Amino acid sequence: MNRLLELLVAGGVRKYGANTAWLFFEKAVRVVAGLFVGIYVMRQLGPEKFGALSNILSYAAMLASVAPLGMAEILVRELVTRPDDGERLLGTAFLLRMAAAVFVLLAAVPVFVVTGTPKATAVLVMIALSGVLVQSLAALELYFQAFVKGKFIAMSQIAAVTACSLVRLVLAWKNAPLTLFAAVEPLLWMVEGAFLLWFYRRDGGRLERWRFARTEAATLLKASWPLLLSGIAVTVYMRIDQLMIDRMLGAGALGVYAAAVKTAEAFFFIPLLAGAALFPALLNAKKTDERLYRERLDGFCSLMFYGGAVASGVLTVCGVAMVWLYGDAYRSAYPLFAVIVWRLLFLSWGTAMNYYLYTENLQLYSLFFALLGAGFNIAANLLLIGKFGAFGAAWAALATSAFLVMAMPLIFGRMRIFVGIYWRSLNPWTMVRALRGAEGTLQ
């Protein structure tokens, strides 16, 4: 026991633990604000209007998935491995993402024409989508992530979430039109971007030193294009079910389904945040000690599996509160939630595999996974929504998550290492062995 305590208070563990704690605190604030404000908004709007708003935001999210260019993890990796080139990397990434944001806004119009989107819906989508311009400042978030300064990310996002939650409460109270609700999305990015910039300057950074470099642009784009396409595909299979329900079952059914999805996805940050916080530790181990790197990978996967299982079980039980918190209009949302929330288990388990791909520069496999997942999800939705309605979409989402995590390592030879990693992760002592092997060198 004393030995375990020594490991837990070692300098490296404290460093990454404090960073993760800050990010978890921000997400906890986001979840609490999202749930309580979201419940009030849902009750005020009703399933029909809430379904219409969810359709708009899902549409905007699918278009906006192009703007980040898939370079988040790549930029973090480059900043960790080449810290002296940070200003050139940040300047290049910022201008590339700004150019992508402009492209997204211009390309949205022909997309509306091809898909036959009603003019009123298209206007609202464009309002929500305008936030991609400010989202370019998220490069600063990646800078703080790379140098393990999560408290600046957390404080920026808490400020943005708090401000926008208050705005949403007022809008719901006043029964405001959907136009104003859509406008809250770019406001969120504006507030967060302003705080990130302020903290960056306080930390000694200077935007005027940022430089665009063609060689860096070529390097980032070459490494990130598979992640760009996979990010688009992932957004499609995360959001396409809501667009399909809206078309096939109507806005009212979508409102109930979106309530279940929104509640479940509020907790999906857990594995993503753990992965983002520990990614620099995996990279540093990869540079110094291959054995240590493998031990951390095993321990990380074990932590993700048991954390995901416990979280999914607890949330399934606690989700019963939806029945009375959301009101009678959303009573049928709980059975949907009880299925969808178990995606957290597979999302958690697969996070280690995703970061293995980033570390080993195998981003192309992420593209294969995402494309197969998108195709599987669309086919499953087409088959199940017609037969079982929104409940079919919930099972399609869960089946897609399980398919991606369990089947992909069996399909691709380079990924079969994860068959063994998954088996070892079932042993809870794998986490302890990983810590013991690190011996406080988690730097």
pLDDT-above-90 percentage for the chain:
28
The whole-number average pLDDT for the span 312-337 is 87
Whole-angstrom Cα distance, residue 340 to residue 161?
24
- Is 234 strand, coil or helix? helix
**Which of 191 and 287 is assigned the larger pLDDT?**
191
Give domain limits for the chain: 2-438
- Is 245 strand, coil or helix? helix
Question: Measuring CA to CA, which residue among 272, 43, 57, 22 is closest to residue 149?
Answer: 22
pLDDT in the model for residue 6: 47
Whole-angstrom Cα distance, residue 359 to residue 237?
25
pTM over 0.85: no
Question: Measuring CA to CA, which residue among 337, 341, 340 is closest to residue 395?
Answer: 340
As given in the structure block, the two tokens for residue 196 are: 């990130």
Least confident range from 89-93, 101-105, 238-242, 415-419: namely: 415-419
Least confident range from 25-39, 122-136, 290-304, 425-439: namely: 425-439
Least confident range from 8-17, 35-44, 204-213, 283-292: namely: 8-17
pLDDT in the model for residue 11: 47
The model's confidence at residue 153, banded by pLDDT at 50, 70 and 90, is confident
The whole-number average pLDDT for the span 52-60 is 89
Alpha helices, H only, 266-342: 269-288, 290-318, 322-325, 333-340
| For residue 7, pLDDT beyond 70 | no
In this structure, how many other beta carbons lie within 10 angstroms of the beta carbon of residue 201? 11
